[in-house]
Amino acid sequence: LKFPGREDRIFRLRLPANPMKAKYRAWSEWQKPDFVAKAGEQPSRPSSGSDYQIRYKLDYQER
């Protein structure tokens, strides 16, 4: 997530190799950022609790 004038939050999405199973089509657990990045600096691990979390859901379409 990018925020003008603030630290960016970087999330590693934990995606399954095979998303076809129904259990992978549910919402993921809430996930805190894996890294934060200040402007002009290298990303680093967050040092405290995060004010942002994400969750995601896979949408698989058969061909």
Instruction: Please write the tens of the pLDDT for every residue from 34-51.
Output: 999 988 889 999 887 768
Q: Which regions in the chain score pLDDT beneath 50?
A: none
Residue 61 three-state SS: coil
Determine if the pTM surpasses 0.95: no
pLDDT over 70 for what percent of the chain?
A: 97
pLDDT over 90 for what percent of the chain?
A: 33
Q: How far is CA 50 from CA 24, 25, 46, in A?
A: 26, 26, 7
Rounded-to-integer distance, Cα 18 and Cα 26, Å: 14
pLDDT (0 to 100) of residue 51: 80
pLDDT (0 to 100) of residue 53: 92
| Contacts of residue 17, Cβ cutoff 8 Å, sequence gap at least 6 | none
SS3 content of the chain, % helix, strand, coil (to 5): 5, 15, 80
pLDDT (0 to 100) of residue 47: 81
